[in-house]
Amino acid sequence: MAALAASGLLGGMLGGFLGIGGTVAFMPLLKIICDANPATPLDPHTAIAATLVLNVCVGASATVGHARSGRIIGSVVKVLVPCSLAAGVAGVCVGNLFTGEAQAWLWRLFGLMMLYVVAVNVYRLIRPLAPVDAAPGDFAGPPPSPYAVGAVGLMTGFAAGLLGVGGGTVAVPAQQVLLKMRLRAAIANSAVAVAFSCALAAVIKHLWLSAHGADAARPWLFVGLMAPMAIGGALLGSHLTHRVGRLWVRLIFIAFLLWTAYEMLLAA
């Protein structure tokens, strides 16, 4: 129980600090903790159902901190959120097609997603002062079109529904690249998208758990143990993101992700 609470705190802090939703910590730590006992193996559908709820806790908590800092961009969020909601439903439906032995592919897909996140973070280390981050205001150029914002929302929601990924792993870099948005504003918008898209995806995922032979109550046990610490960690992380440098956090984060990808790709 202490290990689950500690993983909730870590995931929450990462979610609030880096805008990643916390899933990259929640998912692998849940698997490792449960698989340590042969009597309590963890299936991917249960893990995704639990992390979606945890992502809502992290995203909603982080949103409070970002709103106080004035970083959330209303014109972006009003398009980003509905698109991520719709795509989140689609992602859950696709994920539910992985049944039986095919469920292992959800772990492998998650491992590939972690390699993608590593690549994004290494790029950010190499180019920490990219023009989009150094520009004044929220954007490096003119405000993006609603179509570009919608595309980011669709990618964000689908990743959330399919793998339980909070969306920040997609939404933050996508906003920087496609919308030419500064990092802190992208993190703030991502927190809002995570809170909404994961909420709807969580409801649908839980309704389908029994179809996969999973215990519908088990995700809520994880949530009860991890959510309080995750909320506190998210509030702290969102506060620190506007005040603390990211170099060492990113280096530790990258090392953790490489280990996670190894576990998911080779141990699934």
So what's the pLDDT on residue 235? 74
- Single-letter amino acid code for the residue at 187: I
In total, how many domains does the chain have? 1
The DSSP-derived string for 94-162 is HHTT--GGGGHHHHHHHHHHHHHHHHHHHHHHH-TT-HHHHSSSSBSSSPPPHHHHHHHHHHHHHHHHH
For residue 126 the two structure tokens come to 């190499």
Pair 167, 198: CB distance under 8 Å:
yes
Task: Return d(Cα 106, Cα 99) in angstroms, integer.
Answer: 10
pLDDT at 246: 61
Residue 7 structural domain? 2-266
Radius of gyration of the chain (CA): 17
Q: What's the pTM?
A: 0.81
Q: Check residue 129 and give its pLDDT.
A: 47
pLDDT the model gives residue 244: 64
Give per-10-residue mean pLDDT for the chain (268 aa). 77 67 72 80 90 83 82 92 95 93 89 84 70 57 89 93 78 85 83 90 93 90 85 74 66 78 76
**What pLDDT is attached to residue 18?**
65
> What pLDDT score was predicted for residue 157?
92
Question: Which phi and psi (to 5°) does residue 182 adopt?
Answer: -65, 155
Degrees to nearest 5, angle at CA 200 with 165 and 168: 30
pLDDT reported for residue 131: 47
Q: What is the pLDDT of residue 86?
A: 95
